[in-house]
Amino acid sequence: MLAATRVTTAARGWPGAAQGTAFRLGTPDTSLFPFEEWTRIVSRLWREPPPELLRYGDPAGYAPLREAIAAHAGVARAVRCTPEQVIVVSGSQQALDLAARVLLDPDDTVVMEDPGYLGARAALSAAGARIVPCAVDAEGLDVAQARNVAARAVYVTPSHQFPLGVTMGLPRRLALLEWAAERDAWVFEDDYDSEYRYAGRPHAALQGLDADGRVIYIGTFSKVLFPALRVGYLIVPAGLSDAFVAARAIADRHPPTVDQAALAEFIERGLLARHIRRMRGLYAERQALLLELARRQLGGLLDVAPCNTGMHVAGWLPEDADDVEASRRAAQFGVDAAPLSHYRIAPGSPGALLLGYSAVAPREMAEGVARLARALAQLPVRRG
Amino acid sequence: MLAATRVTTAARGWPGAAQGTAFRLGTPDTSLFPFEEWTRIVSRLWREPPPELLRYGDPAGYAPLREAIAAHAGVARAVRCTPEQVIVVSGSQQALDLAARVLLDPDDTVVMEDPGYLGARAALSAAGARIVPCAVDAEGLDVAQARNVAARAVYVTPSHQFPLGVTMGLPRRLALLEWAAERDAWVFEDDYDSEYRYAGRPHAALQGLDADGRVIYIGTFSKVLFPALRVGYLIVPAGLSDAFVAARAIADRHPPTVDQAALAEFIERGLLARHIRRMRGLYAERQALLLELARRQLGGLLDVAPCNTGMHVAGWLPEDADDVEASRRAAQFGVDAAPLSHYRIAPGSPGALLLGYSAVAPREMAEGVARLARALAQLPVRRG
């Protein structure tokens, strides 16, 4: 049973079984979500649904939502597209899976950030792609390192590199697009939590800088609203819309319609923008608190670095420490702190723990840092 | 761009752009759906959602829904499974796509009913399978014809063959399972509208007769509730659960959680069973009305055959008539009547029109039949 084995292998180690609250990765705080307003929108739609919301729908997504997403991505991310280029999907995972199905053939080479996002690696590997890891430096993916790779595509998280948190600067963005043009490669731009930027102006998405139609832009509402909603989007070059829509129809026909209609109204009424603003303020405060607590209690144990974007920070361990062991000990103290090694393609150092702060209230944060300090105090130094 | 072309080709002619109401295929009547009760369930869940309904969920589906589905399929379809074998998907399309991804390798041979379901053909072709068509007789797929095919899998719709409406009898079911055992082939059992049976006792699903763990059972709520909900399920042999769950996680991580929680409650409270009973009565009346109207107005033009199951009937054209031309003329008269040829893999005759009656109210039904009579009266006999 070759196929089943390939699938199981591709998914190994992902999705992780997250336990505990501090410091789980990729988890938005939902306590401030306007559930009252959302429920009013959803209830009105369900109580007397227009027939077109109940029938088979458009595989590309519900038209008003595609329009709302095109407008949102234009304003928030300098993405340039028509609504016809927007394909509503169930999240960044489906976006990646469709991109792999439409644009990759088995044994195609794909350059990936190392360390990088496991869900992307799983989708690309399942499609039969050969993954070539490429280092990440302070400017993001080290394009020079990829220079001689005959890649069909590259996967990047330029707004907030997952998991290191680096933002790709403009020169590096232009270098990446230039490299892609030379190689005739696709660029899979996963802009998964770009909405959370705490300092400085956001850089335009690669999609908005792309003159050649080689960027496949991937956005999701999993981080700005909540994961269980299962709504994300692809923005594809105009000439690829038909192929992506066909792939989506084959994969699972179309997204649930009422959820899409509700989200379209939520965006049109400005509730999404308001929620993002509110959460941005909250998350900035939470990161500041975590950094302050870490400075006071984790000195010498974990060097927690500030980050201008996203929902987590990296805490660097002393040079010889093993981050998998550190994570295991943290778990024994009831703390969820993912080890950076888990996201590395090639083995490497130094070790770090990734600390998600977005869903952690101040009291839990203090308790979490105190427990982490106790866990790490017992950490043996690795014997080389 | 080989991959994109393959996808677009696999999806050709499907999904169809359905226009008009009489006699669209596969469309449930939603006017009797208990939207008030559904809205109450959904609103209560959204107003104060427990945190676990908002986070990333189980790729296999929401546990209470898996339990409710296992119980429902056991009672309604004599399926034998534990909740761990149930994987919630977005409909039969995703079920098929996952089955193809997990169990088929490129160039594997799959036997399919001819005529058959286009969505299955698209998913299997996109996975690189070679489709071997096999005729359908009064007992369903003609297993004897498949005898010598070295197939890796077979796709069947035994409760209500799509599109002919034939129910596979018990001897044929056993012959199919025996053939699969000899060939070491998987059986993809698509039980898409098995809930609507108007006469006689339903046959047990192939899954319930299968002693070897070779049946992949596919069910959907698209027909008993409505398509836009996007909830269906796979019931897989216990040893395959992990591979299917991994494939689902790679494809799109997990299904939307609140919808699943609402549906679980809807089933547990008996509302699904009540709705099915009510619709079964309504659809039986509608089929009877359609047959009566056809008998009176379509004599010599279209021989509409009764069917014990499902949501549509086949109307057979005179021997030399071209069903694609007949369908085109019907469309000119505002009537949606899909030509049987559209679903044939190998070209064949006789021609027929498929008439969906489930969503057609009595007045529209009368109007539709009258229009169809006018359209078909002008139909030229094909010149051989």
As for the ipTM of the complex, it is 0.94
Q: Which residue of B has its CA nearest to A27?
A: B55
Q: Tell if the CB–CB gap between A43 and B42 is shorter than 8 Å.
A: yes
pLDDT in tens, B121-171: 999 999 999 999 999 999 999 999 999 899 999 999 999 999 999 999 999
Residues of A in contact with B38 (CB under 8 A): 46
All residues of chain B having their beta carbon less than 8 Å from the beta carbon of residue A14 are 249
Residues of chain A contacting B256 with CB distance shorter than 8 Å = 90, 228-230, 256, 259
Contact B47 A59 (CB under 8 A): no
Query: Min CA distance, A183 vs chain B (Å)?
Result: 15
| Neighboring chain B residues of A257 at a CB cutoff of 8 Å | 228
Q: Which of B253, B230, B196, B247 is nearest to B93 (CA)?
A: B230
**Alpha carbon of B200: minimum distance to chain A alpha carbons (Å):** 30
Tell me which residue of A272, A267, A262 sits closest to A44, measured CA to CA.
A262
pTM here is 0.94
Nearest CA in chain A to B257: A228
Contact B46, B29 (CB under 8 A): no
- List the beta strands (DSSP E) in B72-129: 86-89, 109-114
Specify the 3-state DSSP secondary structure of B384. coil
The pLDDT profile of chain A, 384 residues, written as one tens digit per residue, is: 457 777 777 777 666 544 447 999 999 999 999 999 999 999 999 999 998 999 999 999 999 999 999 999 999 999 999 999 999 999 999 999 999 999 999 999 999 999 999 999 999 999 999 999 999 999 999 999 999 899 999 999 999 999 999 999 999 999 999 999 999 999 999 999 889 999 888 888 999 999 999 999 999 999 999 999 999 999 999 999 999 999 999 999 999 999 999 999 999 999 999 999 999 999 999 999 999 999 999 999 999 999 999 999 999 999 989 999 999 999 999 999 999 999 999 988 899 999 999 999 999 999 999 999 999 998 876 544
pLDDT for residue B384: 44
User: Which residues on chain B are in Cβ contact (under 8 Å) with A11?
Assistant: 246-247, 249-250
- CB A35 to CB B27 under 8 A? no
DSSP letter string over B232-260? EEEE--GGGHHHHHHHHHHHHS---HHHH
Nearest Cα residue in chain A from B261: A228
Residue B209 burial (10 A CB sphere; 0-12, 13-18, 19+): middle
Q: Indicate which of B105, B241, B250 best probes the interface with A, i.e. most A CBs within 10 Å of its own CB.
A: B250
CB A28 within 8 A of CB A218: no
What is the distance between the alpha carbons of residues A355 and B174, in angstroms, rounded to a whole number? Answer: 56
- What is the three-state SS of chain A? CHHHHHHHHHCCCCCCCCCCCCECCCCCCCCCCCHHHHHHHHHHHHHCCCHHHCCCCCCCCCHHHHHHHHHHHHHHHCCCCCHHHEEEECCHHHHHHHHHHHHCCCCCEEEEEECCCHHHHHHHHHCCCEEEEEEEECCEECHHHHCCCCCCEEEECCCCCCCCCCCCCHHHHHHHHHHHHHHCCEEEEECCCCCCECCCCCCCCHHHHCCCCCEEEEEECCCCCCHHHCCEEEECCHHHHHHHHHHHHHHHCCCCHHHHHHHHHHHHCCHHHHHHHHHHHHHHHHHHHHHHHHHHHCCCCCEECCCCECCEEEEECCCCCCHHHHHHHHHHCCCCCEEHHHHCCCCCCCCEEEEECCCCCHHHHHHHHHHHHHHHHCCCCCCC
The pLDDT of residue A368: 97
Question: Cβ of B103 and A48 within 8 Å?
Answer: no
Size of interface A-B (CB pairs under 8 A): 210
Chain B CB contacts of A47 under 8 Å are 35-36, 39
Nearest to A101 among B3, B26, B43 (CB): B3
- Taking an 8 Å cut-off on Cβ atoms, the answer to whether B249 and A15 are in contact is yes
Inter-chain residue contact B256 with A253, CB threshold 8 Å: no
Alpha carbon distance A215, A220 (integer Å): 16
Q: What is the pLDDT of residue A348?
A: 86
pLDDT of residue B18: 45
What is the spatial order of strands in the sheet that B215-220 belongs to?
Answer: B86-89, B232-235, B215-220, B186-190, B153-156, B109-114, B130-137, B140-141
CA distance A98 to chain B (A): 8
Please list the pLDDT of chain B residue by residue as tens digits (384 residues): 457 777 777 777 666 544 447 999 999 999 999 999 999 999 999 999 998 999 999 999 999 999 999 999 999 999 999 999 999 999 999 999 999 999 999 999 999 999 999 999 999 999 999 999 999 999 999 999 999 899 999 999 999 999 999 999 999 999 999 999 999 999 999 999 889 999 888 888 999 999 999 999 999 999 999 999 999 999 999 999 999 999 999 999 999 999 999 999 999 999 999 999 999 999 999 999 999 999 999 999 999 999 999 999 999 999 989 999 999 999 999 999 999 999 999 998 899 999 999 999 999 999 999 999 999 998 876 544
For B253, the closest of A53, A93, A226 (CB atoms) is: A93
Nearest CA in chain B to A124: B250
Using an 8 Å CB-CB cutoff, list chain B residues near A103: 1, 3-4
Q: Do A252 and B42 touch (CB under 8 A)?
A: no
Nearest-CA distance from A217 to chain B in Å?
Answer: 17
Contacts of B309 (CB under 8 A, 6+ apart): B159, B160, B165, B167, B193, B194, B196, B197, B198
Nearest CA in chain A to B98: A251
Subunit contact A56:B4, Cβ cutoff 8 A: no
Residue B155 three-state SS:
strand
For B327, the enclosing helix (H) or strand (E) is helix B323-332
Question: Which candidate in A1, A25, A55 is best for mutational testing of the B interface (most B CBs within 10 A)?
Answer: A55
Q: Tell me which residue in B93, B103, B243 faces A253 most closely, judged by beta carbons.
A: B93
Amino acid B286 reads: R
Amino acid residing at B151: A
Taking the CA of residue B361 and the nearest CA in chain A, the distance in Å comes to 14
Three-state secondary-structure class, residue B140: strand
Q: Which residues of B touch A89 (CB under 8 A)?
A: 252
Contact list in A for residue B65 (CB cut-off 8 A) is: none
Which chain B residue has the Cα nearest residue A35? B47
Comparing CB atoms, the residue among A42, A246, A253 nearest residue B42 is: A42
Chain A residues whose beta carbon lies within 8 Å of the beta carbon of residue B91: 252-253
Per DSSP, the three-state class of B210 is coil
Q: Which residues on chain A are in Cβ contact (under 8 Å) with B57?
A: 227-228
Instruction: Sort out which chain B residues have CB atoms less than 8 A from A46's CB and list them.
Output: 35, 38-39, 42-43
Given this model, what pLDDT does residue B3 score? 74
**Nearest chain B Cα to A101, which residue?**
B3
